């Protein structure tokens, strides 16, 4: 696309107008909560002038949407919650600053599950996001608006956040690429926290190269985030073609554990066979801990959410109940009315996990499980370049199908939470479709800070499904 810009075949202004029209035509999807039309057009005009003088940045012409939990100075953001009603950011997140520095154009903010808590995008205070291929199905969550915006061609790329699969699961459901970088690779400064030791920002794209350049631009040292690695930003482009055989691990008896949709099983087994036929070594490894990942994840993330969300009380900013009569009732009524059901459920569960008498039984034990998972996966990845898993147990399910049973909904994260518990980078690659033409993605996990290897393995998986 940049070649077209530099050869005067199109302009950034024309691209923005195209996407603004696409957003308007597809408003029923409810992907965007707000469109920055005037800002985007002004930015496009400025970048067009830079293109003429050949001074434009690496992302010139890339029109991007951002999840509604990412701060952009002078713009509202609410994490799709009433509790932040009317709140406008006074600064930009580090990732937004880095995108703008390279001349990306931010076109709007995207719908998501409230405070990034959900696997279906049914929990937003501003209505559910519809799947672009079938409006009766969920787009995945929590970054459902981000996935849909890319899948429906409402912008070129988007940013989401991934706490337990909130990028990879909707990416798989919508048939696009979704990357969760290594924890500590991309700054979390300016991101509304759900669970601080899990959250990571990453891109949704329609190509691996776009995901790679966005990850490059967003990565690197940031003095505003003390949890960030001191490693420099990785060089991910060009994505190198496979040299020789890749050693890829798959979990023994994964399919036999049950709970997988037949189309996902078929795609998973076909991926293994295609990788072998392409000359790669794919071997089973013992990993008997998958069943512990979801319980450990929800013990730890709800505990962190209980702490992080305590700052929202209707006193300084955001929603304040008109039924308040004193300080105590201001907190109680504002939080009761401002938070949705799923957020309140997780706050209460996290408060219980952290309470006296239960802290060691739940929180401490879950931290021990997290360490076991990290150590065991690191051992596997010493002998293998990557671990291959399904991204999700099933293709996109129908609205209401799982929302009445929180446990069933939580189990949708069974294959994605492992990367968040261990901090390792992972990507969902679109591979196939089921009988209803719904996309199916496969997931690749590599060792910490090996994003370059992750993209090489993803390209190998992409290639075998395209041939």
Report how far apart, in Å, the C-alpha atoms of 280 and of each of 273, 274, 378 are.
10, 9, 21
Report how far apart, in Å, the C-alpha atoms of 345 and of each of 117, 306, 405 are.
10, 10, 12
Which single residue is written with the structure tokens 């790669």? Answer: 280
| Annotated active-site residue in 142, 187, 271, 391 | 142
Which single residue is written with the structure tokens 């798959």? Answer: 250
- The total of other beta-carbon atoms located within 10 Å of residue 135's CB is 11
Question: 75: number of CA atoms within 13 Å, CB side?
Answer: 28
| Annotated active-site residue in 67, 128, 180, 246 | 67
Which single residue is written with the structure tokens 């799709």? Answer: 80
Both structure tokens of 79 = 């994490």
Please list, in sequence order, all residues whose beta carbon lies within 8 angstroms of the beta carbon of residue 288, skipping any fewer than 6 positions away.
none
Both structure tokens of 247 = 């050693």
**What is the pLDDT, as a whole number, of residue 256?**
86
Report how far apart, in Å, the C-alpha atoms of 62 and of each of 15, 26, 47 are.
9, 20, 11
**What is the pLDDT, as a whole number, of residue 348?**
96
Both structure tokens of 37 = 């039309």
DSSP states of 289-351: THHHHHHHHHHHHHHHHHHHGGG-SSSSSS---TT--SHHHHHHHHHHHHS-HHHHHHHHHHH
For each of the chain's 467 residues, which pLDDT tens digit applies?
688 898 889 999 999 999 999 999 999 999 999 999 999 999 999 999 999 999 999 999 999 999 999 999 999 999 999 999 999 999 999 999 999 999 999 999 999 999 999 999 999 999 999 999 999 999 999 999 999 999 999 999 999 999 999 999 999 999 999 999 999 999 999 999 999 999 999 999 999 999 999 999 999 999 999 999 999 999 999 998 877 799 999 999 999 888 899 999 999 999 999 999 999 999 999 999 999 999 999 999 999 999 999 999 988 899 999 999 999 999 999 999 999 999 999 999 999 999 988 999 999 999 999 999 999 999 999 999 999 999 999 999 999 999 888 889 999 999 999 999 999 999 999 999 999 999 999 999 999 999 999 999 999 999 999 97
DSSP states of 231-259: SPPP---SPPPP-S--EEEEETTTGGG--
Q: With beta carbons less than 8 A apart as the criterion, state whether 47 and 60 touch.
A: yes
Q: How far apart are CA 431 and CA 60, in angstroms?
A: 29
pTM: 0.96
Residue 166 known to be catalytic = yes
Both structure tokens of 178 = 């979704």
Both structure tokens of 76 = 């509202």
Backbone angles phi, psi at 37, to 5 degrees: -60, -50
**What is the pLDDT, as a whole number, of residue 361?**
92
| Annotated active-site residue in 124, 166, 187, 306 | 166
Q: How far apart are CA 226 and CA 52, in angstroms?
A: 39
Q: Which runs of consecutive H residues, i.e. helices, occur in 180-246?
A: 208-218
Q: With beta carbons less than 8 A apart as the criterion, state whether 60 and 51 touch.
A: yes
DSSP states of 149-165: HHHTTSSSEEEEEESSS
Residue 142 known to be catalytic = yes
Q: How far apart are CA 176 and CA 170, in angstroms?
A: 8
Asked, as a colleague might, if the bond just before 293 is cis with ω within 30 of 0, I would say no
């Amino acid at each position: 696309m940049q070649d077209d810009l530099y050869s005067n075949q199109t302009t950034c202004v024309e691209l923005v107008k195209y996407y603004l029209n696409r957003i308007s035509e597809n408003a029923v999807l409810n992907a965007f909560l707000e469109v920055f039309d005037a800002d985007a057009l002004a930015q496009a005009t400025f970048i067009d002038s830079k293109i003429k003088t050949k001074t434009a940045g690496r992302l010139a012409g890339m029109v991007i949407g951002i999840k509604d939990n990412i701060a952009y100075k002078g713009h509202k953001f609410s994490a799709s919650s009433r509790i932040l009603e009317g709140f406008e950011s006074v600064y930009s997140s580090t990732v937004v600053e880095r995108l703008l520095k390279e001349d990306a154009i931010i076109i709007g903010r995207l719908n998501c599950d409230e405070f990034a808590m959900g696997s279906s995008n049914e929990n937003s205070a501003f209505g559910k996001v519809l799947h672009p291929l079938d409006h009766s199905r969920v787009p995945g969550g929590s970054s459902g608006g981000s996935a849909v915006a890319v899948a429906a061609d409402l912008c070129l790329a988007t940013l989401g956040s991934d706490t337990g699969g909130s990028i990879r699961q909707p990416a798989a459901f919508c048939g696009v690429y979704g990357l969760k970088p290594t924890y500590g690779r991309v700054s979390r400064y300016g991101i509304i926290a759900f669970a601080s030791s899990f959250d990571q920002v990453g891109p949704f794209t329609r190509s691996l190269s776009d995901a790679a350049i966005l990850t490059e631009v967003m990565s690197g040292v940031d003095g505003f985030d003390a949890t960030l690695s001191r490693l420099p930003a990785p060089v991910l482009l060009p994505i190198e073609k496979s040299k020789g055989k890749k050693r890829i691990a798959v979990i023994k008896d994964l399919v036999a554990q049950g709970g997988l949709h037949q189309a996902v099983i078929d795609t998973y087994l076909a991926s293994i066979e295609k990788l072998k036929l392409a000359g790669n070594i794919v071997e089973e490894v013992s990993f008997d801990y998958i069943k512990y990942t979801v319980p450990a994840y929800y013990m730890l993330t709800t505990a962190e959410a209980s702490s992080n969300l305590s700052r929202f009380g209707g006193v300084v900013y955001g929603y304040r109940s008109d039924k308040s009569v004193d300080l105590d009732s201001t907190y109680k009524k504002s939080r009761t009315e401002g938070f949705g059901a799923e957020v309140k459920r997780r706050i209460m569960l996290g408060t219980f996990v952290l309470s006296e008498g239960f802290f060691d039984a739940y929180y401490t034990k879950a931290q021990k499980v997290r360490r076991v998972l990290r150590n065991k996966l690191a051992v596997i990845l010493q002998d293998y370049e990557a671990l291959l898993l399904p991204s999700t147990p099933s293709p996109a399910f129908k609205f209401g199908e799982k929302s009445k049973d929180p446990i069933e909904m939580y189990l949708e994260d069974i294959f994605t939470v492992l990367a968040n518990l261990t901090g390792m980078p992972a990507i969902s690659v679109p591979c196939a479709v089921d009988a209803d033409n719904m996309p199916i993605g496969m997931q690749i996990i590599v060792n910490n800070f090996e994003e370059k290897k992750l993209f090489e393995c993803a390209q190998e998986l992409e290639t075998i499904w395209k041939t």
